[in-house]
Amino acid sequence: MQIQVLGCAGAIAQGAYTSAFLLDQAIALDAGTGLGQLPLAQMLQIDHIFISHAHLDHIAALPLFLDSVMASRSQQQRQPVRVYGLAATLHSLRKHIFNREIWPDFTVLPTSAAPVLELIPVQLGQTIAFSDLPYQIEVMPAEHSIPSVGYAVRPFAGAAALVYTGDTGPNPKLWQRLAHMAVAGLILETAFSNHDAALARAALHLSPSSLAHELRQIAPDSSYPIYLTHAKPAQAQHIQAEVAQLAAQDPALATLLASHPLQHLQCGQIIGLQDS
């Protein structure tokens, strides 16, 4: 399974784009500004988009993406782009984005009989399968300031999963679930530096200090890489320096990280995970 990191920043700056990940061309996780980095031909290959929550940095490119692909998909008589999310997330999209004021309602365009957009609600713990793709996607727990989820993507039934947390603060339910599943890799947010640890706690994000607490919950008999995402561009260097000190400050954590190496994601990076 190949994951293209279209966006992994917690805000924008030159070369920094917000959350969007492309899985083997056909599936996107979140639709932040990174989605707009794709050529149109690649956009047209995306049939499924899984939204973690309705905050702008995770949906910003979705309305413009649909506008870009609508005419070609209609001419090709393609099925709608299926956008998945919690019922509360889809409600926010309908009410605040596709409301015919901020943006057209693409659930009825170009026609109500053949729209470019279909909104599909999901529930925590649900596994979504596809008629045209081998993937299975499990809806994972997240703890954030609005209704939110993460996703675990298996390239086929029974395979180890790539797990994407979306935005989350301390999340014991996530680690409980990970302890009972095969994990190929974990994309885990760390949005703020320790200088803003209080803000991170209030907003239900992680900083390196709370990240350390989360990492101590890793099942000790597991082994997989952990990719850190969602750093605010102005704080990225501070976050990296603080994360680098975690193992030195805690020998037990250092032992865990020996089998769970940490890597800070970069926009444009490609992650290759062996299917197993």
Same domain, 243 and 132: yes
Query: How many other β-carbons are positioned within 10 Å of the β-carbon of residue 71?
Result: 11
pLDDT of 118 over the 80 cut: yes
Report if residue 68 sits inside a domain: yes
Range of the domain at 260: 123-265
pLDDT of 276 over the 80 cut: no
Percent share of the chain, pLDDT over 90: 96
Provide the pLDDT for residue 43.
98
User: Of the candidates 60, 95, 122, which is a domain's last residue?
Assistant: 122
Provide the pLDDT for residue 247.
87
Distance CA 31, CA 45 (A): 15
User: Of the candidates 100, 122, 144, which is a domain's last residue?
Assistant: 122
Distance CA 171, CA 19 (A): 20
Same domain, 117 and 5: yes
> How far separated are the first and last CA of the chain, in Å rounded?
10
| Per-residue confidence band for 48, with pLDDT thresholds at 50, 70 and 90 | very high
Same domain, 14 and 114: yes
Same domain, 133 and 243: yes
Same domain, 20 and 57: yes
CA angle, corner 164, sides to 159 and 166, nearest 5? 155
| Per-residue confidence band for 273, with pLDDT thresholds at 50, 70 and 90 | confident
Distance CA 2, CA 113 (A): 34
CATH number where 175 lies: 3.60.15.10
Provide the pLDDT for residue 137.
98
Query: How many other β-carbons are positioned within 10 Å of the β-carbon of residue 220?
Result: 11
Q: What value does the mean pLDDT of the chain take?
A: 97
User: Of the candidates 75, 103, 122, which is a domain's last residue?
Assistant: 122
pLDDT of 38 over the 80 cut: yes
Same domain, 109 and 127: no
Distance CA 224, CA 102 (A): 42
Q: At what angle do helices 236-244 and 208-215 cross, to 10 degrees?
A: 40
Stretch 92-106: mean pLDDT: 98
H helices of 132-273, where?
Answer: 172-178, 197-203, 208-215, 236-244, 246-249, 251-258
Percent share of the chain, pLDDT over 70: 100
Report if residue 274 sits inside a domain: no
